[in-house]
Structures are given as structure tokens and as C-alpha cells.
Amino acid sequence: MKLDHTQPLEYSTKQNQLNILGFWIFLGAEIMLFATLFASYFTLEDRIGNGPSGGEIFGITPVMIETILLLTSSFTIGLTVNAMRIGNKKAMLTFFVITLLLGLAFLGVEIYEFYHYVHVGAGLQTSAFTAILLTTLGTHGAHVTFGLFWGLFIVSQVKKRGITTETTNKSFIFSLYWHFLDVVWIFIFSFIYLKGMM
């Protein structure tokens, strides 16, 4: 395996570079996925049938908590990559675990939020609006859930195998994924919650 020492570790092999470019393109596909969900959401937003509208069910508190948790986790995954670059394994693992814990907390609040929606009569089957709302939020939530498992696997690999070309590559790609989920959340926050509550 040829190593290019002028590059950071995660970029240092040909395969690593391919992986990172591939993941960027995958994120392009993810953008299309969420763009389609948003477009459908805007189309179905007013079609509430006999169910409640967004303004009637959105609560500001859980949404703000979720936003703060996810934004902070995006910051800590940045710190993780930073620690990884300077080769500080302990700091890297600490920040990584904090990121995952924040993600877990986010997920907890989101599950509570879903429970609340169903409780007030905004279930998946209520109307086109509730269906697309829960599907869009759920797709994001499923991505976070997937990320939690994935992140956990990477943490255990970094712990066991140290900071290598492979683990740095995986961690870096994970950080791209996590930032992406944060960006999606900002769109959800602005165009679903804020727009709905106004």
C-alpha cells in the first residue's frame, strides 16, 4: 500500500481517497433523497384531511432541545477529527463518544416527540400531512440511528486498532455523514417546524 505522507492520514492511500470521494457522491444522492422528501412535504403540507395541522401539534421545547443537541454533536465530531489529525487518541475517543451520546439524546427526544404526535391524534395514517411529516422526520431519525451504530463500531475499532489509515478514513467519513445530518436538520427546523409554527 503506497502512503502519501504529504496528506493527512485519512487521505494517505489511493483507496482512502476513493472512499472519501465516493462518500461525497453518496451524500449528493442523499441530498436528492431529502430534497424529494421536502418537495413532497411542501406539496402535502396543507392537505390535512380531518387531522391536525402543523401549527396545532408542533411544540417549541422538544424541537429546540433536539436542535441544540444535534448542533453541539456536529461541533464535537469536528473536535473528534481535529484530535484525530494531531494523533491524540484519547481526546479523539472522548469527543467521539460525546458525539454519539448527544446523538442518542437527540434520538430520545425525537422518540418522545413522535409519541406525543401519535398521542394527540397525528399518527402515520391520519392524513397525507402527518404521513409526510413523520416520514421526513423518521428518515432523518433513521439516519441518526444508523449513525449511532456505525459510530459505535468505529469507536471500538479506533480503541482496538489505534489511529491508522483505515480508522481515520472511517472516522473522517463518519464526520461528513454526521455534519450532513446536521445540515438536513437545520432545513427541517426552518422549513418544517418554524414555518409550521408561524
Near other proteins by CB under 8 A: residue from 1, 61, 90, 198: 1
Burial of 144 (0-12, 13-18, 19+ CB in 10 A): buried
The answer to whether 135 contacts other proteins (rule: CB under 8 A) is yes
Phi first, then psi: what are they for 17, rounded to 5°? -65, -40
Phi first, then psi: what are they for 3, rounded to 5°? -110, 135
The answer to whether 17 contacts other proteins (rule: CB under 8 A) is yes
Residue 64 C-beta: closest distance to other proteins, Å: 28
Contact 100, 159 (CB under 8 A): no
H-type helices in the chain, by residue range? 14-44, 54-57, 60-85, 89-119, 128-161, 165-188, 195-197
Near other proteins by CB under 8 A: residue from 6, 29, 61, 86: 29
Q: List the interface residues with other proteins, window 46-75 (CB under 8 A).
A: 46-51
Q: Cβ closer to other proteins: 67 or 117?
A: 117
Chain residues that interact with other proteins, rule: CB under 8 A: 1, 14, 17-19, 21-22, 25-26, 28-30, 32-33, 36-37, 40, 43-44, 46-51, 124-129, 131-132, 135, 149-150, 153-154, 157, 166, 170
